[in-house]
Structure 1
Amino acid sequence: MIDLHCHSTASDGSATPREIIDLAIQEKVTAIALTDHDTIAGLQEFQDAGGNAGITVIPGIELSAREENHDEFHFVGLFIDAHSEPLQAFCHHIRTLRQERNYKILEHLPSLNCPLTLSEVEAECPGGVIGRPHIAAALIRRGYFRDSKQVFKTLLGRGCPGYIARQVPTAAECINAIHQAGGVAIWAHPFTRSNLTNRHFRTLVTTLKNLGLDGIEAYYPIHTREQTREVCKIAAEDSLLLSGGSDFHGLHFPSLKIGVAYGKLNVPDRLLPLLQERARRYS
């Protein structure tokens, strides 16, 4: 069993990169990837911790994209160079855009009777990449909400009063940045998009493949069996690779565990050699 999608305190997870390794070993995961949002800051600690741990350690990242037609994508980059200067510059630009969004959310919260200070949010983010989960944590600490699920369902989730969209790169820019850093570009959790039909999914796969997409995340905690089968089918038809992971965030989603997610996830080990072979094209 492998897990190629996890987040640490370097972005919006609650476990440190070193703790990710420990948890993966506990769950008998054979290979683990750290894919923090818009940052590679945790990768050195992650790789150092996994060096002699008897587990395959994969440096990664997760990037968000939006097209002019408002199609949105998340891309996981696997086997990236943790010291890639172009990727570091790309991430710095994205984090600047993310921070601008954070300011707008904080400016809006008083009108929703939930005022917060930036210092309160920063206290929830030891890694420095502030996102909505950190704002949610500060709101909970203030006593405005019971838990993260309630915050996102009623305030910060898409379509809610406190939601503000952020500027993000295009899909082509994200895929190119991953390739420049020596990584394999994977379309993450495609069926978490609302109302995605199989027909539209096929169209999007063709579009992304033409931009250089390497693979698709088929194995994901909230993909149904039918959705996983559809991803596997289309990937085979289009000669794309498969990936999968728990999208572990630690205590922010306490019932979701590394490797097994909600208990039934099992990403096959056989996917790893093909991903490693593809990564050698870009190294």
Structure 2
Amino acid sequence: MRIDLHTHSKISDGTEEPADVIRAAADAGLDVVALTDHDTTGGWEQAAAAARRIGIGFVPGMEISCRTVEGISVHVLSYLHDPQYPDLLAEISKARDARLTRAERMVELLAEDFPITWEDVHAHVGHGATVGRPHIADALVAAGVVADRTEAFANILTSHSRYYVTHYAPDPVLAVELVRQAGGVPVFAHPVASARGRVVAEDVFRQMVDAGLAGVEADHRDNPPEGQAWLRRFAIENGLFLTGSSDYHGTGKPNRLGENVTAEEVLYRILDEGSGAEAFLPGHTTAS
């Protein structure tokens, strides 16, 4: 099977509706796809319904935006967790609220130098999604300030920019613990993607493992080859599984569905470990 376990829709910062992500996955020749929008499960129902209609496997997931005490950004993918688990839901809601306040302040700062308003940004936000930097980037593209999201993030929206504003995000160790408590399977997303910014030291990996980390996303375009090799060694030493994914965002990023894939045995390990939600595979339903 061809399995892609990391995609995004308009519910967070992708450019397509959840059902369209599923259709695109089927058109790309995938057998199973996970929807992992940032800090929300709002697209699960639509995506699952589309998967059943089309006949493609679907794994419900989420990408949790975290930050270490040193200020390093970390993303934790969660599969098959209970979307109503109170402690995880409260932490995600706190982070979403903080991100909205942060986006408003960033737009205020940007408006001092560029032709951009809060209304301009909000025009690029999908129904139910929280405004984030990708939506601000889209507004800057529409205003002709930059050519695309990549240019926006490389310059104006970088964490080193004077327009950047920090916001609350849970510690990655806490996120792993909460995912496990919610019956989910936590995976460290693009863990050594140094081109995105600072990456965590090995001690943070080990703390996440102690908290219940199940796997690491090794095959991802933003992980450099030497980093991928280290991840494979670390996974073997610590009993973790390896995933490969696209991190698809529609037209929001150059990433293409299925450019990296996950082994079938890893999928079944995730299905075995998850106990908070239900995945769909054509021919049978895996109830957790």
What TM-score comes out, normalization by structure 1 length?
A: 0.89
Q: Which position in structure 2 is the counterpart of 1:166?
A: 167
Q: Which position in structure 2 is the counterpart of 1:233?
A: 233
Q: Which position in structure 1 is the counterpart of 2:59?
A: 58
Same amino acid, percent of matched pairs: 29
Q: Which position in structure 1 is the counterpart of 2:274?
A: 279
Alpha carbons of structure 1 residues 174 and 96: separation in structure 2 relative to 1, 3 Å: same
Query: Displacement of 1:281 after TM fit?
Result: 9.1
Report SS of the residue matched to 1:186: strand
Matches within 5 A, 1:180-259: 180-193=181-194, 201-253=201-253, 255-259=254-258
Alpha carbons of structure 1 residues 153 and 6: separation in structure 2 relative to 1, 3 Å: same
Which amino acid letter does the alignment assign opposite residue 34 of structure 1?
L
Higher alpha-carbon deviation: 84-93 or 114-123: 84-93
Alpha carbons of structure 1 residues 22 and 134: separation in structure 2 relative to 1, 3 Å: same
Alpha carbons of structure 1 residues 201 and 69: separation in structure 2 relative to 1, 3 Å: closer
Query: Displacement of 1:210 after TM fit?
Result: 1.6
Alpha carbons of structure 1 residues 97 and 196: separation in structure 2 relative to 1, 3 Å: closer
Report SS of the residue matched to 1:233: helix
- Structure 1 position 90 matched with structure 2 position 84: no
Query: Displacement of 1:48 after TM fit?
Result: 1.2
Which amino acid letter does the alignment assign opposite residue 9 of structure 2?
S
Which amino acid letter does the alignment assign opposite residue 13 of structure 2?
D
Query: Displacement of 1:235 after TM fit?
Result: 0.7
Matches within 5 A, 1:75-86: 75-86=76-87
Query: Displacement of 1:89 after TM fit?
Result: 3.4
Report SS of the residue matched to 2:274: helix
Q: Which position in structure 1 is the counterpart of 2:285?
A: none
Which amino acid letter does the alignment assign opposite residue 43 of structure 1?
W
Alpha carbons of structure 1 residues 146 and 34: separation in structure 2 relative to 1, 3 Å: same
- Structure 1 position 32 matched with structure 2 position 33: yes
Query: Displacement of 1:40 after TM fit?
Result: 0.8
Q: Which position in structure 2 is the counterpart of 1:11?
A: 12
Report SS of the residue matched to 1:51: helix
Query: Displacement of 1:273 after TM fit?
Result: 1.2
Which amino acid letter does the alignment assign opposite residue 50 of structure 1?
A
Structure 1 distance, partners of 2:88, 2:276, is 18
Cα contact 1:59–1:81 (8 A) shared by 2: no
Query: Displacement of 1:201 after TM fit?
Result: 4.6
Cα contact 2:28–2:258 (8 A) shared by 1: yes
Matches within 5 A, 1:38-53: 38-53=39-54
Report SS of the residue matched to 1:58: strand
Report SS of the residue matched to 2:264: coil
Q: Which position in structure 1 is the counterpart of 2:284?
A: none
Number of residue pairs matched?
A: 275
Listed one character per residue, the Cα deviations across residues 215-269 of structure 1 (whole Å, up to 9, x for unaligned) are 111111222333223212211111112222111111112x321111xxxx34322
Cα contact 2:36–2:77 (8 A) shared by 1: yes
Which amino acid letter does the alignment assign opposite residue 257 of structure 1?
R
Report the aligned-residue RMSD: 2.2
Q: Which position in structure 1 is the counterpart of 2:144?
A: 143
Cα contact 2:193–2:224 (8 A) shared by 1: no
What TM-score comes out, normalization by structure 2 length?
A: 0.88
Alpha carbons of structure 1 residues 41 and 266: separation in structure 2 relative to 1, 3 Å: closer
Listed one character per residue, the Cα deviations across residues 58-89 of structure 1 (whole Å, up to 9, x for unaligned) are 11001121222334311000122345454443
Structure 2 distance, partners of 1:8, 1:45, is 11
Structure 2 stretches lacking a partner, 5+ long: 278-287
4+ aligned runs moved over 6 Å, structure 1 = none
Higher alpha-carbon deviation: 44-53 or 30-39: 44-53
